[in-house]
């Protein structure tokens, strides 16, 4: 769908959009302050949004501050965005029931898939969603749960007006403004929003909003804001060619990282594109039923590379290599681009303060 | 109908143990039949593909199919006891039920060996993926020139199917060469590395198809030796092994560089994986 000149929506009229979405059967999800971080969860009104909050981030550090602005979305991100909505951290894939004669029946639990509208999705997370779509939907096998949830998803994106020190989406080509993959895009200005549709679904809602024509000043302000937030990003991931990191497995920096890395797996849990999961059986107490569980897994865990009598990656160095080389290098061969969209979460939520971008630039040779 | 049930690659089908064959103290073969007759009729596979076998309450393991696809209603899996699930599978009896998901993966490209010599090299304990290829080829003997089977084991006591090797060796145009790294008394075959045996293979010419399965180091050594001897790397296929849980390229455990072994393999043409074999941590 072609991008049109955006219209203007007054600040408080964003509630009209929320009401329209609810009337159309959508559950609303959006950012809110929870446990000291911006978290996406169910919301019911504009008052749930994190007005006036801003996140301070650096490797090993995330802190929210109230900076008394009136904006809903003047922050960078929190630990999670869309991934848990489409690809739950834990779910029952099927149940096996065994009757007295020993025969086994496999049952898929009946689930209802709600239509969910997410308000305030950032460009890095939409880029990550596209990568998860490639992985779960566009290969040989289509994941049915992901597909059902994805079909019911409506995305109201917000162009970033603020970048944390960990943000580097400009260098990965994924932000700070959204270009595609959304239904509605908002650019937040002090007095309201520039609004644009990105899909026919989104367009249908826009036609029912109390929109005004955007003024030249508002359009200028939006352009200015885009340039300002892009310029705020001082962190930059240098381009990595296919094979470049894999060929640098002997680089001494890997061992240096391995001595700091705790192999906790936080980076993989907060990464919006990581897809690894394990499947385990949990016997229900009575013994006549077993749940087959799918749960997020991490390449930093001991069991990830475990084979009968053989451990593929038995050192932290080898596991860190798997994480970084897969994400930035071999991902390109798998999906045609890098698996990193510049959100910076792997750094903020790293307890060892490992700076993923700086390390990649060193190993890639950009910092020498 | 439940939306999930239409895509059954995630959900096992129940199957009955039709036969349990103890091959050695730690190796056994499970002959399974799908309980549902429609599923049984629709099921088909190729040599080198694998199933996910589910043991009730414990979990799933990837196991190669070793029987001939001509009868896909009885599906044989030769299994070595190595972990929790295989220990449990070893205790099954005829009539017990398990779950099957599959078949998955890319098998051996046996059609490429038509009217050529077929060289099958295997190391380790009765490597199941190539047993499927051996059975397939011997049942279609006329499709190929000579068939050469080169099997190495760590210790002579590890060799299973001894009678079968003897029987194969007596077939017209079939050559069986066996080696043990360490041999007990009265071992009539070669003692030493499998690569040493490759010098004894009498190929009709270099245009053969080579299938290799075993530990990565052995596969690499065998493949490199054959390439040195003039065989094209593109005629060599290897079957690789990694942790596999979903079997459809989603769970990420079986990645080796950019490949998902479960769906891009487990069988690969050698040049595609040559530089990765034995690379630490990959």
pTM over 0.90: yes
**Cβ–Cβ below 8 Å for B13 and A106:** yes
Q: Is A348 helix (H, G, I), strand (E, B) or coil?
A: helix
Tokens at A202, concatenated: 């989104």
DSSP-assigned beta bridge partners for residue A232: none
Looking at the partner chain, which of B251, B258, B281 has a beta carbon nearest the beta carbon of A334? B258
Instruction: Tell me the C-alpha distance between B85 and A142, whole Å.
Output: 27
**Cβ–Cβ below 8 Å for B255 and A330:** yes
Measured in degrees and rounded to the nearest 5, phi and psi for residue B111 equal: -60, -25
* Nearest residue of A to residue B260, measured between CA atoms: A334
- Which pairing describes strands A306-307 and B27-34: parallel, antiparallel, or unpaired? unpaired
Q: Is the pLDDT of residue B66 over 70?
A: yes
**Mean predicted confidence (pLDDT) in B211-238:** 94
Nearest residue to B10 (alpha-carbon basis) of A147, A181, A348: A147
Q: What is the pLDDT of residue B123?
A: 87
Q: Is the pLDDT of residue A63 over 80?
A: yes
ipTM of the complex: 0.92
The string of pLDDT tens digits covering residues A241-257 is 999 999 999 999 999 99
Q: Is the pLDDT of residue B46 over 50?
A: yes
Q: Is the pLDDT of residue B177 over 70?
A: yes
* Nearest residue of B to residue A242, measured between CA atoms: B258
Tokens at B31, concatenated: 């002959």
Q: What is the pLDDT of residue B280?
A: 85
Q: Is the pLDDT of residue A30 over 80?
A: yes
**Mean predicted confidence (pLDDT) in B182-200:** 88
Its CATH architecture, for the domain B4-104, is Beta Barrel (2.40)
| A182 min Cα distance to partner chain B (Å) | 25
List, in order, residues 6 or more apart from A59 with CB less than 8 Å away: A166, A347, A348, A350, A353, A354, A355
Give the mean pLDDT of chain A. Answer: 95
Where exactly are the structural domains of chain A? 7-90+99-232, 246-364
**Mean predicted confidence (pLDDT) in A275-282:** 96
Q: What is the pLDDT of residue A6?
A: 86
**Mean predicted confidence (pLDDT) in B3-12:** 66
pLDDT band, residue B25 (cuts 50/70/90): confident
What CATH topology corresponds to B110-273?
Rossmann fold (3.40.50)
From residue B190, how far is each of A83, B77, B198, B224 by CA, in Å?
A: 56, 29, 11, 21
Q: Is the pLDDT of residue A147 over 90?
A: yes
Contact A198, A206 (CB under 8 A): no
Nearest residue to A151 (alpha-carbon basis) of A78, A102, A201, A105: A201
Q: Is A321 helix (H, G, I), strand (E, B) or coil?
A: helix
Contact A122, A341 (CB under 8 A): no
**Mean predicted confidence (pLDDT) in A255-264:** 98
Contact B125, B153 (CB under 8 A): yes
**Mean predicted confidence (pLDDT) in B31-58:** 94
**Mean predicted confidence (pLDDT) in B265-275:** 96
**Cβ–Cβ below 8 Å for A94 and B10:** yes
Q: Which of residues 56 through 85 in chain A touch B, CB cutoff 8 A?
A: none
Counting Cβ atoms within 10 Å, is residue A24 exposed (0-12), middle (13-18) or buried (19+)?
middle
**Mean predicted confidence (pLDDT) in A112-120:** 95
Q: Is the pLDDT of residue B41 over 50?
A: yes
CB < 8 Å to B10, chain A: 93-94, 143-144
Is the alpha carbon torsion for A321, A327, A329, A333 positive or negative? positive
* Nearest residue of A to residue B257, measured between CA atoms: A330
Where exactly are the structural domains of chain B? 4-104, 110-273
A336 touches chain B (CB under 8 A): no
Instruction: Tell me the C-alpha distance between B156 and A348, whole Å.
Output: 56
| B219 min Cα distance to partner chain A (Å) | 16
pLDDT band, residue B5 (cuts 50/70/90): very low
Helix ranges restricted to H, chain A: 14-23, 83-86, 123-137, 144-151, 169-172, 200-206, 216-232, 253-260, 266-270, 316-325, 331-335, 345-348, 356-364
Nearest residue to A271 (alpha-carbon basis) of A30, A79, A131, A64: A79
Q: Is the pLDDT of residue A368 over 60?
A: no
CB < 8 Å to B96, chain A: 102
Instruction: Tell me the C-alpha distance between A364 and A329, whole Å.
Output: 10
Q: Is the pLDDT of residue B4 over 50?
A: no
A96 touches chain B (CB under 8 A): yes
Measured in degrees and rounded to the nearest 5, phi and psi for residue A20 equal: -60, -40
Q: Name the least confident of A52-66, A278-292, B113-127.
A: B113-127
Contact B272, B109 (CB under 8 A): no
pLDDT band, residue B3 (cuts 50/70/90): very low
CB < 8 Å to A277, chain B: 245-246, 250-252
B82 touches chain A (CB under 8 A): yes
Q: What is the pLDDT of residue B126?
A: 56
What is the residue whose two structure tokens read 């393991």? B61
Q: What is the pLDDT of residue A367?
A: 62
What is the residue whose two structure tokens read 């080579």? B210
Q: What is the pLDDT of residue A51?
A: 95
For chain B, where are the E strands, in sequence order? Answer: 13-24, 27-34, 50-55, 59-64, 75-80, 97-104, 118-123, 147-155, 174-182, 190-191, 209-213, 236-239, 255-256, 259-260, 267-269
Instruction: Tell me the C-alpha distance between A154 and A21, whole Å.
Output: 9
């Amino acid at each position: 769908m072609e991008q049109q000149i955006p219209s203007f929506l007054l600040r408080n009229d964003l509630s009209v959009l929320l009401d329209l979405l609810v009337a159309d059967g959508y559950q609303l999800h959006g950012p809110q302050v929870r446990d000291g971080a911006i978290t996406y969860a169910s919301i019911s009104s504009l008052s749930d949004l994190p007005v006036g909050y801003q996140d301070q981030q650096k490797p090993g550090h995330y802190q929210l501050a109230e900076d008394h602005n009136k904006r809903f979305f003047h922050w960078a991100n929190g630990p999670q965005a869309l991934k848990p909505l489409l690809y739950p951290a834990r779910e029952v894939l099927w149940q096996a029931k065994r009757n007295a004669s020993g025969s086994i029946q496999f049952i898929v639990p009946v689930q209802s898939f709600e239509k969910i509208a997410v308000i305030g999705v950032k460009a890095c997370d939409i880029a990550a969603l596209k990568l998860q779509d490639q992985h779960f939907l566009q290969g040989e096998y289509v994941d049915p749960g992901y597909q059902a949830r994805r079909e019911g998803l409506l995305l109201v994106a917000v162009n970033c007006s603020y970048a944390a020190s960990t943000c580097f989406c400009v260098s990965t080509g994924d932000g700070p403004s959204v270009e595609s993959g959304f239904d509605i895009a908002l650019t937040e200005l002090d007095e309201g929003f520039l609004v644009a549709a990105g899909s026919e679904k989104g367009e249908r809602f826009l036609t029912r909003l109390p929109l005004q024509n955007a003024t030249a000043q508002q359009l200028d302000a939006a352009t200015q804001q885009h340039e300002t937030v892009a310029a705020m990003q001082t962190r930059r991931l240098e381009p990595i060619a296919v094979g470049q990191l894999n060929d640098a497995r002997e680089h001494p920096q890997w061992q240096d990282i391995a001595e700091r890395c705790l192999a906790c797996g936080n980076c993989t849990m907060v990464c919006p594109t990581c897809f690894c999961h394990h499947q385990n059986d949990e016997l229900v107490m009575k013994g006549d039923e077993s749940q087959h569980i799918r749960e997020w897994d991490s390449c930093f865990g001991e069991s990830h590379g475990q084979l009968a009598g053989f451990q593929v990656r038995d050192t932290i160095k080898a596991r860190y290599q798997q994480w970084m080389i897969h994400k930035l290098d071999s991902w390109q061969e798998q999906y045609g681009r890098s698996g990193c969209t510049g959100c910076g979460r792997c750094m903020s939520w790293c307890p060892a303060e490992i700076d993923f971008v700086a390390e990649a630039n060193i190993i890639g040779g950009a910092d020498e | 109908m439940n939306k999930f049930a239409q895509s059954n690659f995630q959900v096992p089908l129940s199957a009955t143990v039709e036969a349990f064959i103890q091959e050695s103290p730690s190796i056994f073969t499970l002959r399974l039949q799908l309980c549902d007759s429609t599923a049984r009729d629709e099921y088909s596979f190729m040599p080198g593909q694998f199933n996910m076998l589910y043991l009730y309450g414990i979990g799933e393991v990837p196991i190669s199919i070793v029987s001939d696809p001509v009868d896909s209603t009885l599906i044989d899996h030769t299994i070595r006891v190595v972990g929790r699930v295989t220990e449990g599978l070893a205790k099954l009896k005829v009539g017990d039920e398990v779950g099957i998901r599959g078949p998955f993966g890319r098998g051996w490209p046996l059609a490429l060996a038509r009217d050529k010599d077929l060289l099958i090299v295997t190391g380790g304990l009765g490597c199941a993926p190539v047993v499927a290829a051996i059975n397939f080829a011997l049942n279609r003997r006329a499709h190929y020139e000579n068939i050469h089977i080169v099997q190495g084991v760590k210790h002579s006591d590890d060799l299973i199917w001894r009678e079968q090797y003897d029987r194969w060796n007596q077939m017209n145009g079939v050559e069986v060469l066996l080696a043990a790294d360490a041999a007990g008394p009265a071992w009539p075959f070669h003692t030493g590395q499998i690569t040493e045996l490759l010098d004894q293979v009498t190929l009709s010419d270099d245009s053969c198809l080579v299938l290799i399965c075993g530990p990565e180091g052995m596969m690499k050594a065998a493949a490199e030796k054959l390439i040195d001897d003039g065989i094209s790397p593109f005629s060599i296929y290897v079957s690789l092994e990694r942790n596999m849980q979903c079997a459809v390229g989603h769970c990420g455990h079986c990645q080796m560089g950019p490949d998902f072994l479960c769906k891009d393999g487990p069988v690969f043409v050698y040049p595609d994986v040559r530089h990765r074999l034995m690379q630490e941590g990959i």
